[in-house]
Amino acid sequence: MATVDEAGIPRLKSWEVQESVAVLFEWIGFFWMQDEGLAETAETLALLEYSRTALSGLLELDLWETKAMPESLYVQYHSRLGVTPGDPELWCIDSFRSIDAVYVFYYTLGHIFSHEVQNRIARRERDMSVLGMWLKSLLQSGGRPRYSDMIDTLAGECDG
């Protein structure tokens, strides 16, 4: 009998793969099961959310290298959203930094990956069997697939 550690998505041992697949499943069904107008609104919200995630990830990378300037880095990155933070000392409670300083990168990769999946499946007239074949081959591969391998495997399923 398989344990939780040996079956299903937990078999995908690398965190970036697990989180990328999780983001994919969080979004793909929603976009395809809603009317076009609602899906467009959701896509805009997702773009804003993952832009914010990516900026928090960039802030985190720079903080590792430039520990002496957190306030100015916070203002620099968050100004890209079109707003200037009024209290730069609040950098320390940046939501992604304080909750998920490591996973913030995986969420961004997951969003990029989710778009790749949606685009490839859309070219196949939303043939969800492609997604099923890809997921099955990913789970059967075991081990620790790399992020780039996931996209290559998906490309093979879509083109095959």
* More confident: 79 or 36: 79
Give residue 2's pLDDT. 41
Averaged pLDDT score across all residues of the chain: 75
Average pLDDT of 4-26?
A: 67
Per-residue pLDDT at 4 exceeds 50: no
- Give the start-to-end residue ranges of the domains of the chain: 12-159
- Taking the C-alpha atoms of residue 61 and residue 35, their distance in angstroms, rounded to an integer, is 38
Q: pLDDT tens digit string along 124-137? A: 666 777 777 777 77
HEC string of the chain equals CCCHHHCCHHHCCCHHHHHHHHHHHHHHHHHHHCCHHHHHHHHHHHHHHHHHHHHHHHHHHHHHHCCCCHHHHHHHHHHHHCCCCCCHHHHHHCHHHHHHCCHHHHHHHHHHHHHHHHHHHHHCCCCHHHHHHHHHHHHHHCCCCCHHHHHHHHHHHHHC
At 39-77, the pLDDT tens digits run: 788 888 888 888 888 888 888 888 888 877 888 888 888
Q: Which of 26-30, 97-101, 118-122, 146-150 has the lowest mean pLDDT?
A: 97-101
What's the average model confidence in pLDDT over 5-31? 69
pTM of the model: 0.67
Is residue 80 within 8 Å of 58, Cβ to Cβ? no
